Structures are given as C-alpha cells and as structure tokens.
Structure 1
Amino acid sequence: MGHLKPGANLIDLHFLGTPGTIASYVFDTVDGLALVDTGPSTTLPALETGLAALGASLDDVRHVLLTHIHFDHAGAAGSILARVPGARAYVHERGARHLANPERLLASATQIYGDQMERLWGGMTPIDPARLTVLRGGEVLPFGGVPDGVAVHDTPGHAVHHIAYHAGDDLYVGDVGGVRLDLRQSARPPTPPPDIDLDAWASSIALLRTLDARHLHLAHFGSYPQDAAHWDALERNTRTDAARVAERLAAGQPLDEITRAFTAELQTELDAEGAGLSERFALSCPPWMSVQGLARYFQRQAVRGEQS
C-alpha cells in the first residue's frame, strides 16, 4: 500500500505546529490499517497528511488501537470512527465507558486547561459501544498479516487504563515507556494526575523488559531499540523525579514552589542532554502536570498509611 513499509510507520502529528512531540503509528493488516493512538482532534489534519504521505488515507483504517484514553492519545478516536464506518477501536476496560460517553472526561480536562482546551485538544466524539473491543490484557488480536497476532499487555502506572501492544518486532508502549524525544535524551516519566501509581509502573516496566521485540515505539516521541538502557534510564529518572517531589512535600513546601524548583532542575538536565530538548519536552510533558500527579500519588499514599 503506497509508501507503507512493513511494521511500524511513524506519523508526526505536529502538535501545536511543533514537530517531534506527539506520534501515531500505523501498520498494515490483511483487512486494512491498524493505527496505534490517534492524537487529539486538533491534530487530525496532520494525521491525514501523514497517512497521505504513506499512500494511504483514513478510509483505509480498520483498527484503532488505543494505549490509553488521555486526549493526546485518543482524542480523535471518535471522529475517525464517525468518518470510517468499517473501523473499530480497541481500549482497556477501564477506559471504554469514557469513550462511549466522554462528558466527564471533557469536564475534567476543561477544569485543568480552561479556555485553552479547544486550542490544545479540541473535542471528543462519543463512540458507539458496539464498535469498541474492550481489553483487559492477555488477549491476542488475530490480525491478518501479523504473524502470531498482536499481543495485548495490561501496563498500568501512568494510567489505570493503560495497555501496550506487541506485534512481532514492534512494541507500542504509549506513555508507560516514558518520554524520549531523541536518542540524546534519557527516557523520563510523564506523571500527570489523576492515577499515577509508581509501584504499578515498576511492575509494568519489569514486564515490558522481558518482551521479545526489537523496536520500542513511544508516543512522545519516536522509535528506539528495545534494550535495557532505555528502561534503566526511565527507572532512574522516575526515582529522581519522585524523590524531588516527595522530599519537598515532606518539608512542607507549597506546590507552586515545588513546581518551580522541579521545572528548573528538569530543564537543566534536559539542556545538558541536548540543546532545545527542554522546550519540546514541556509541550509533550508539562512539568507542572508531572508535579501534580506525583503530589497526588504521595498524598494518597499518606492517607492509606494513616488508615492501615
């Protein structure tokens, strides 16, 4: 089909006009294209442009594989299904109801982003539940042309409804594989609210390390070798980020002070890894959101400790 190569084909969604921040991936099956994560509604034109460059179009898509339902990964899913009657979406069971009825998701996001909501993400079209394949992890999707099918893995930590897809040499890991914008940068954890779980994330990493794949595909951003160095760096940076927030919370610092210090430290480290990384990283993974997610995690841990 056109310029589509075997296996994963990256489409840069040029979020807010910036290259290298959000990616979708597409691969061929016997009965049409499989699209891994759609991006938000605001980047749907870029997705169409990317498909056209591969000699394809939205009409060729039959399988929309969602790693999780955050807007930067699934926002355009309903719009795509509305335009392509033959397509269906695949999603974790804990995210399915939000795709069928996204009002609560939209309201929650609007509280966070306010009047920037439309500019950043746009809307989210509901999906008929009959067009959702609900996943728990452990399934193998028997897509034609994909030897051994597409294995589905439950990979919580970044979100309770996060899954990864393993197709031959290709491992699509959404956000649980971290944010890594190019080879110079070590993988770092995106930790937005509401349901960061560092223990679950560690278990997911332990699972993903064992999978027999050659290529690791990140939504933010790009494809890398599936090797220990990637996962080691992600675990190391997760420990560092968590400690910075936990120690300051324990010292009684207010969240705005913690955010300023965290952001400055992160920018310094990213700039040391490569010029221009910190600006693109802030678009892919805003530091203030990572602080909020970690703070919420530690506050929940404290409450559980008091109750036990």
Structure 2
Amino acid sequence: MSGPERIDLNFQDQPGVIAAYVLDTGDGLAVVDVGPGSTLPALEEGLSQLGAALSDVRHVLLTHIHLDHAGAAGRVAERVPRARIYVHERGAAHLVRPERLLASAGQIYGPQMDRLWGEMRPVDADQLRVLAGGEVLTLGRMEVLPLSTPGHAVHHLAYHIGDDLFVGDVGGVRLDGRQAPRAPTPPPDINLPAWQESVSTLRNVDARTLHLAHFGSYPQEAAHWDRLLQTMEGDAERVRQGLAAGEDLEAITEQFTDALLNELRAEGPQLAERFEFACPPWMSVQGLARYWQRAAARGQG
C-alpha cells in the first residue's frame, strides 16, 4: 500500500458520499474516520480489497465525533482491542458515554436513526488517545500532526501527514473538482469566525493534497480555501437576511435550498442531487440559524 488509500463507504448505497482513508504506518494500519456503524461492512470490504482486514487496524484518527465520521469507532475498538482511537479532548467523553450524542442526533433523525447510522458502541477509555492539537504523534514510521480546527465542531481536528492533509468537514463538502467547496453547517456548534481561523491555519500547511470526508482528494491550493470562504459567507448571509426579515425557518429553508441547488446545477450535471443527499440543505439552515440567533443574543449579530 503506497500513500493514503480512499475507501468509499457507499453510505445508503450511494457512492461518493462518505470516505475513509487508510495509511500503512509500519505499525499496522491507520484509518482516518471510520464512518457510521451502518457502513462498517463497507469499510471491511474496502480493507479486503486493499489486501488487509479490520484486525490490521491499529490507529483510528477521528476528525470529530459526528456519527458519519465516528459512529463505528466503538465497534472497531471492540473487535480490535489493540487499536487506539485518537480524538479531540472535547469529544472524548462522548465516545466513552455516547448517550447524549445519540439523544441529540435522535432529535434530528427520529425513527431513521438506525437505518442511517447503525449502532454506536462506547469506546473503552483505555483505548482512547486524547488530543488537544499541536502534538506530534509517531505511529510506526509515520509522523502525524493533529491540528485543532474548530468551526464545524468545537472538537474538530485535521491531520497533517507528510504531503497529505486530512481535513474532515472543515475543508467543506466537494463532490467534484468543478464544484466550489461548501461548508456543512449542521447544529449545534457552528462558529463562523472559528471556521475562518481554521481555514487560515490549514491553507498555510505545507502539503500537496487535501483529503475530504465528503468527498475525495484535491490539490492543496488557495483556490479551494478562497472558494470555501466565499460560499460559506454567501450561505450564512442568506440565512441571516431571512431571519432579519422575520421569515420562519420553513421559508428560509425553501429559499436557501432553491438558491443552493441552482448554483450547483450551474457547476455540473447531477451535482445538485448528489449534494442534497450528501449535505441536506435543511440541516445547514438549522445550524446557521442557531449560529445567528446565538450571535444576536450576545449582541454580535
């Protein structure tokens, strides 16, 4: 295995939605984001196609603890007791005791929880490696630099490994090279200034390739980050204007979705439909509305 290998987790039988990345450290395999519990069989199949197995995994590098990135971490830890799960210090407790995380997600997804995300098992605290960002990890022959990158979540990390930069969700959703990356902004803790600071950090990292969870690998270049900031600002402003005009969330969501999908259709065929599945616009509206409402309560809106 040379360099990072991408495994398409085929979320809900849809290709190109959620990716995991696999690296050979010389001390077993490292996997960046294992995906939800519902796609664990796809992760195992992808490892098999690489000539490996789940039992070869020694290091699970989580960018953050949202279910589409970390939902399978507990099941991996149970099945591979030698594996270590790396997570930001502000997300660690939710892996050991996932009840609150699952309850919060349940309020959004209701009866669809199991179908979408599958089972999330707790991680034994002894298998966790808790990070703040800024450490230097030596995994076999590989040096890994975790970077604290809040904005999408307070507990978000990116990982710089040689020429590669694994950016989770803070690098945006980009399903095609023609598509401008767009910020996924679900509730509860979207923070736009923090996200902008994270972009400033990441754009200066000396790497050649960005690896996005949603979805694929792209050159590490200013154009990616410039376009992400541009679309993030535009999407946030649409929601802010709707709230300022006294519109309800249903109306804001309808207008937001129409504008977003029209922009995506101009970028490429089928992009709008694929993006709507990968990053539902109504969830982005909810997160941005919460952000603006909290900013107004602090006198910053």
Are positions 1:117 and 2:116 aligned together?
no
Give the structure 2 partner of residue 217 of structure 1. Answer: 211
**What is the root-mean-square deviation of aligned Cα atoms in Å?**
1.0
> Which one-letter code corresponds to 2:83 in the other structure?
A
Are positions 1:58 and 2:28 aligned together?
no
> Which one-letter code corresponds to 1:113 in the other structure?
Y
Cα distance in 1 for partners of 2:41, 2:257 equals 32
Structure 1 residues 192-271: aligned runs within 5 Å: 192-271=186-265
Per the normalisation by structure 2, the TM-score is 0.99
Cα distance in 2 for partners of 1:276, 1:135 equals 39
The runs of at least 4 aligned residues of structure 1 exceeding 4 Å deviation read none
Give the structure 2 partner of residue 86 of structure 1. Answer: 82
> Which one-letter code corresponds to 1:57 in the other structure?
A
SS of 1:305 mapped into structure 2:
coil
Cα distance in 1 for partners of 2:3, 2:173 equals 22
Per the normalisation by structure 1, the TM-score is 0.96
Structure 2 residue runs without a partner (length 5+): none
Shift of the alpha carbon at 1:184?
A: 1.2
Give the structure 2 partner of residue 156 of structure 1. Answer: 150
Give the structure 2 partner of residue 72 of structure 1. Answer: 68
Give the structure 1 partner of residue 21 of structure 2. Answer: 25
Give the structure 1 partner of residue 287 of structure 2. Answer: 293
Cα distance in 2 for partners of 1:282, 1:79 equals 29
Contact kept in structure 2, 1:28 and 1:145, CA below 8 Å: no
> Which one-letter code corresponds to 2:10 in the other structure?
H
Contact kept in structure 2, 1:157 and 1:176, CA below 8 Å: yes
Cα distance in 2 for partners of 1:90, 1:214 equals 24
> Which one-letter code corresponds to 1:255 in the other structure?
L
> Which one-letter code corresponds to 1:133 in the other structure?
R
Give the structure 2 partner of residue 189 of structure 1. Answer: 183
Cα distance in 2 for partners of 1:8, 1:199 equals 31
User: Any idea what the Cα deviations from partners look like across 1:84-108, whole Å, max 9, x if unmatched?
Assistant: 1110100000000000000111111
Are positions 1:96 and 2:92 aligned together?
yes
SS of 1:166 mapped into structure 2:
strand
Cα distance in 1 for partners of 2:121, 2:140 equals 29
> Which one-letter code corresponds to 2:181 in the other structure?
A
> Which one-letter code corresponds to 1:34 in the other structure?
A
> Which one-letter code corresponds to 1:194 in the other structure?
P
Contact kept in structure 2, 1:23 and 1:219, CA below 8 Å: yes
Give the structure 2 partner of residue 15 of structure 1. Answer: 11
Residue 34 of structure 1, aligned match among 27, 30, 35: 30
Cα distance in 1 for partners of 2:113, 2:97 equals 18
Cα distance in 1 for partners of 2:71, 2:211 equals 19
Structure 1 residue runs without a partner (length 5+): none
Shift of the alpha carbon at 1:182?
A: 1.2
SS of 1:35 mapped into structure 2:
strand
Contact kept in structure 2, 1:242 and 1:294, CA below 8 Å: yes
Contact kept in structure 2, 1:21 and 1:220, CA below 8 Å: yes
Identity %: 66
Contact kept in structure 2, 1:178 and 1:189, CA below 8 Å: yes
Shift of the alpha carbon at 1:145?
A: 2.0
SS of 1:126 mapped into structure 2:
coil
Aligned length: 301
Give the structure 1 partner of residue 270 of structure 2. Answer: 276
Cα distance in 1 for partners of 2:68, 2:276 equals 14
Are positions 1:128 and 2:115 aligned together?
no
